[in-house]
Amino acid sequence: MKRIKTAIVGASGYTGMELLRLLLGHPAVELVAATSRAEAGKPIGAVFPRFRGAPGADLAFMAPDADEIAATGAEVAFLALPHGVAAEIARALLERNVRVIDLSADFRLSDAAVYQEFYDHEHPAPDLLEQAVYGLPEVRADRISAAKLVASPGCYPTSIILPLLPLLREGLVDHTTIVANSMSGVSGAGKKADLTLLFVECNESVRAYGVPKHRHLSEIEQELSIAAGEKVVISFIPHLIPVTAGIATTTTAKLKEGVSPEVVGAALEKAYAGKPFVRLLGKGGCPDTKNVTRTNYVDIGWNHDPRTGRVLLLSAEDNLGKGAGGQAVQSFNLMFGLEETAGLQNF
């Protein structure tokens, strides 16, 4: 198997570490560059002792310079950088014929004005938005395969969009009644010094945050609107829970008049039959984060409350896996004509 020369830009954060875990063991990947300003010059295995002995772990971190990355022969680069920072190096790499999979929010939105509304600054590269493909493999596999620039979805959006999309496409729910509640592990906040993320602040405690207008609402509503064929606005309440990784989401909406609850299961089966990383638990299934952490799977169950006429959609995923690094590798596999599951079927 031909090995694809690959770079990770921003490889020392939590998502970067997950990408290292997946790509160091990927049968079709030759890791040729891993960047980190803080760790430049140090071998990967020295910064992350868990990777000692792994092939490629002696590669030294380098500064995030587009010329130096391109000089390694990298054919593709994963960007695990903050929003607002990723766009600049994405442009530079694209100009050097390096394909880009961006895990920041910089290219997820098709409208630069919406980006400015939710991220509080002008979009850094609006001219690149038209070529960016929103990288949800279960929805846009063909476009991802041909893309030069893939915008990998956010963790919360993945857990909300996948269960809802089939129902909106088929007109089964009243989209004005959608409410999504999510709970995420602390690693979703990124690797940074923040008083609110200290162990003693998070342990044995649960709190809502980012209400009423979390930034991920922008891409959630964009994708749901595309599916529904009209503008969709929802309520979304994220919560921080005292675990390292994992997202559990419960989304509710009223079924339209005359819609039988049983068609919900049929719509999900139709949408995700043959999709390797969507595991449908059926009616009454309640996903558990312990069954998806450190994997690229999203588990989806559903139920119906006849008292309120609401359908209950339940999902669980790893925010660093299917919500970030794993999903990005899934897109990588599509981009290079590999089996979609290559390097990802870990349990």
Active site residues: 155
Bridge-partner residues for 34, per DSSP?
Answer: 8
Half-sphere exposure (CA, 13 Å, Cβ side) for 140?
20
Cα gap 262→260, rounded to integer Å: 5
Cα distance between residue 255 and residue 259, in whole Å: 6
Residue whose tokens read 């809802």: 164
DSSP for 55-75? TTTTPBPB---HHHHHHTT-S
Residues with Cβ within 8 Å of 65's Cβ and at least 6 positions away in sequence, in order, are none
Torsion from C-alpha of 343, 345, 346, 347, nearest 10 degrees: 170
CA distance 80 to 115: 19
Q: Is 167 exposed, middle or buried (0-12, 13-18, 19+ CB in 10 A)?
A: buried
How many CA atoms lie less than 13 Å away from 193 in the CB half-sphere? 0
Cα of 79 vs its chain's centroid, Å: 12
